[in-house]
C-alpha cells in the first residue's frame, strides 16, 4: 500500500457544524428526543432548534424532487445547512445505460439548496465492495465529472482507496475526502485526518459495533454510543488538525438507534466548546 501522507497544518478559522445522519426516526419519539406524538413531517423544525445541519438520508433511497427539497429548506429556516447522500443508482445499483441521466435528475433536485447556498456537500457514499479497480476508478472519475459544480464529498468504505494518489486527485478536483469512524474490521477504510478540499472537512461517526457490522442488520450495526474519551481522542488526533486546514467542518453521527446519534452530537458540541472550537 502506498504511504498515506498528512498535509501540513496552517492556521485557519473554521466553523464546525455537528448533526445527525437523518432526523426523521419514529424511535426518537420513544427515546425522548422528540415530544410524544410528534409526526415525521413535524420533526425537521424541532431538530433545527438544536442543530445547525443535517445529512439527508432519503436522497439515497429515492430521487430528490425540487419541490420536496424546497419545502424542507423552508421548514428548517434560512440559516440551516444540509448535506445530502447521492442516490444509490449512482453508487450501488449502477445501470451503465441510465446513470448519467440519473445524475442530471439529481442535480435538478438539489437546485433549491444550491441556489440558497444551504448545500454544504453531496455525499458520494461508496459500498465496501467498491474496490480500487480500473472499472471502479473510471466510474468514479466519470461520476465526479457529471456532478461537477456541486460541492462533493466522497466516502470510501474499501481500504484500497487509502493511498496518496487518490488523495492527490481529490485535491486536484477540490472534492472532500470523508473521514470515518467505524469498527476496525479487515478491509474497511481507516480513520484519517487527510483534508483534500480547503473549503470543507467532513466526518461521519458510524459506531464501533463489530458484531453488528458483521450481522448485516442495520439496527444492530448502528447501535452504539460513544464515550467522552473516544470523542476527545477524535478531537485531539483528527478534528483539531483538520480544522486548521479547512474553512468549514461538518460532522455527523450515524448511530441512530435509540437517538444515540443526537445525544453524541450534543456531547461532541460540548467537548468542542471546551477546546475553544466554534461549533453548532
Quick one: pLDDT at residue 215? 80
Q: How confident is the model over 195-206, as a mean pLDDT?
A: 97
User: Taking 70 as the threshold, does the pLDDT of residue 150 lie above it?
Assistant: yes
For 15-274, the fitting CATH number among 3.40.50.2000, 3.30.200.20, 3.20.20.410, 3.40.50.920 is 3.20.20.410
Quick one: pLDDT at residue 218? 79
Per the CB < 8 A criterion, the answer to whether 118 and 105 are in contact is: no
User: Taking 70 as the threshold, does the pLDDT of residue 1 lie above it?
Assistant: no
- Residue 118's alpha-carbon distances to 1, 21, 216, 249, 277, in angstroms, are 38, 16, 34, 14, 22
Q: How confident is the model over 237-266, as a mean pLDDT?
A: 97
User: Taking 60 as the threshold, does the pLDDT of residue 10 lie above it?
Assistant: no
User: Taking 70 as the threshold, does the pLDDT of residue 11 lie above it?
Assistant: no
By CB atoms closer than 10 A (0-12, 13-18, 19+), residue 252 is: buried
Amino acid at each position: 500500500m502506498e504511504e498515506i501522507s498528512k498535509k501540513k497544518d496552517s492556521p485557519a478559522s473554521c466553523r464546525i457544524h455537528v448533526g445527525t445522519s437523518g432526523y426523521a426516526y419514529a424511535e426518537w419519539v420513544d427515546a425522548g428526543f422528540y415530544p410524544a406524538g410528534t409526526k415525521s413531517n413535524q420533526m425537521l423544525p424541532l431538530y433545527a432548534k438544536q442543530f445547525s445541519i443535517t445529512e439527508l438520508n432519503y436522497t439515497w433511497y429515492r430521487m430528490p424532487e425540487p419541490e420536496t427539497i424546497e419545502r424542507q429548506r423552508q421548514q428548517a429556516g434560512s440559516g440551516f445547512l444540509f448535506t445530502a447522500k447521492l442516490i444509490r443508482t449512482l453508487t450501488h445499483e449502477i445501470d451503465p445505460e441510465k446513470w448519467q441521466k440519473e445524475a442530471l435528475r439529481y442535480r435538478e433536485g438539489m437546485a433549491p439548496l444550491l441556489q440558497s447556498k444551504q448545500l454544504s456537500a453531496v455525499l458520494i457514499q461508496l459500498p465496501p465492495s467498491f474496490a480500487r479497480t480500473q472499472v471502479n476508478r473510471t466510474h468514479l472519475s466519470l461520476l465526479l465529472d457529471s456532478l461537477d459544480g456541486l460541492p462533493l464529498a466522497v466516502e470510501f468504505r474499501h481500504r484500497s482507496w487509502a493511498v496518496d494518489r487518490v488523495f492527490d486527485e481529490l485535491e486536484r478536483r477540490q472534492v472532500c475526502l470523508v473521514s470515518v469512524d467505524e469498527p476496525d474490521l479487515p478491509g474497511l477504510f481507516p480513520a484519517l485526518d487527510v483534508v483534500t478540499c480547503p473549503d470543507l472537512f467532513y466526518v461521519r461517526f458510524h459506531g464501533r459495533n463489530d458484531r453488528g457490522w458483521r450481522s448485516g442488520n442495520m439496527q444492530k450495526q448502528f447501535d452504539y454510543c460513544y464515550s467522552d474519551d473516544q470523542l476527545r481522542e477524535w478531537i485531539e488526533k483528527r478534528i483539531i488538525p483538520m480544522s486548521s486546514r479547512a474553512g468549514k467542518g461538518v460532522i455527523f453521527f450515524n448511530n441512530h438507534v435509540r437517538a444515540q446519534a443526537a445525544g453524541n452530537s450534543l456531547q461532541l458540541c460540548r467537548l468542542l466548546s471546551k477546546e475553544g472550537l466554534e461549533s453548532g
